[in-house]
Structure 1
Amino acid sequence: MSIDANKELVRRLVEAINRDDAAAFEALVAPEFLLRDAVVPTPRGPAGFREAAAVFHAAFPDFEETAEDVIAEGDKVVLRWTARGTHRGEFLGVAPTGRVIGFSGMAVFRVADGKFVESWQCHDRQGMLRQLERAAACEGGGGR
């Protein structure tokens, strides 16, 4: 596939994440797909990718990711993204706060035969946890 086609795959994946679209995950993610993410370890394949996305949708039902930059070379595509959502479910041990939080991250995807086969992901977990903990402290009367 061309570099432009690989970049378009990433844009379609961001849309699928926002919709929590199982059919799109099946179409975009290879059965042998491996997600390398320290926060959300998952099984392989489209189901594993959807499981990872579901963790965020369970905690932030209005979760929305935005592709800020999509850069490609060869079979790799880099995505710099931002995300926002309202904390309505437990996340990383923090009870729901009802607050909107935002965070950012990056992912490197490897594409083969028109599907994602591997991804390395990282995001600002510390910044996200600070927002959640700050919100939880405010809700519990612990100050600002």
Structure 2
Amino acid sequence: MSATTETTKAIFARLHESMNSADPDVVAKTIDELFDPNVELGTPLPIGTTGVEAVKQVWSLLLHAFPDLDVHVEDVIAEGDKLVCRNTVTGTHEGDFMGIAPTGKRISYKEIMIFRVASGRITKTWGVVDTLSQLRQLGAIPTP
């Protein structure tokens, strides 16, 4: 069953609120509630799992590396069962991230995410994350 625009926005608002809680348990619980267990991820991830477990693992890694992670929504466009958001993500690098030891640096990067909702759950995601900017700010890649 396809979602309405209002349902899709409500699910995203709940997800966004949990992401900014800085509480890995809250984020994991919300992911379990809002994502289909077999969610399809349209973004390649450097982890060895799929579905909802992959989403939880990504958030666990992010919150370990950036405990004060903040996702600021710049734009939201929703139509029926799809929602697109453009975000600015900020955080202080206090834990290992992609093999990079903590630097204490505050970073900021952009991302665009797309979600598809069916039967009250997120069933598919696509994302474009500015990893180059992340790595440059952490000193892993030199800035030209």
Q: How far apart, CA to CA, are the structure 2 residues paired with 1:96 and 1:86? A: 9
Q: How far apart, CA to CA, are the structure 2 residues paired with 1:107 and 1:6? A: 13
Aligned-residue CA RMSD (Å) = 2.0
Whichever residue aligns with residue 65 of structure 2, its letter is A
- 5+ long unaligned stretches in structure 2: none
In the alignment, does 2:32 pair up with 1:30?
no
Q: How far apart, CA to CA, are the structure 2 residues paired with 1:12 and 1:40? A: 26
Alpha-carbon distance, 1:118 to partner: 0.7
Q: How far apart, CA to CA, are the structure 1 residues paired with 2:117 and 2:48? A: 19
Whichever residue aligns with residue 125 of structure 1, its letter is T
Partner of 2:118: 112
- Asked whether the equivalents of residues 67 and 81 of structure 1 are also in contact (C-alpha less than 8 Å), the reply is yes
Q: Secondary structure at the match of 2:89?
A: strand
Whichever residue aligns with residue 113 of structure 1, its letter is S
Distance 1:35 1:88, change over 3 A: same
Q: 2:92 aligns with which of 63, 66, 86?
A: 86
Write out per-residue CA displacement over residues 34-83 of structure 1, whole angstroms, 9 at most, x where no aligned residue: 22323444633433211111111111111111222111123211011111
In the alignment, does 2:23 pair up with 1:17?
no
TM-score, L = length of structure 1: 0.84
Q: Which moved more, 1:40-49 or 1:95-104?
A: 40-49
- Asked whether the equivalents of residues 11 and 67 of structure 1 are also in contact (C-alpha less than 8 Å), the reply is no
Greater C-alpha Rg: 1
Distance 1:109 1:41, change over 3 A: farther
In the alignment, does 2:82 pair up with 1:76?
yes
TM-score, L = length of structure 2: 0.84
Q: How far apart, CA to CA, are the structure 1 residues paired with 2:83 and 2:73? A: 12
- Give the helix-richer structure, 1 or 2: 1
Whichever residue aligns with residue 72 of structure 1, its letter is A
- Asked whether the equivalents of residues 63 and 86 of structure 1 are also in contact (C-alpha less than 8 Å), the reply is yes
Which one scores higher on RCO, CA 8 angstroms, separation ≥ 6? 2
- 5+ long unaligned stretches in structure 1: 138-144
Q: Secondary structure at the match of 2:20?
A: helix
Whichever residue aligns with residue 34 of structure 1, its letter is E
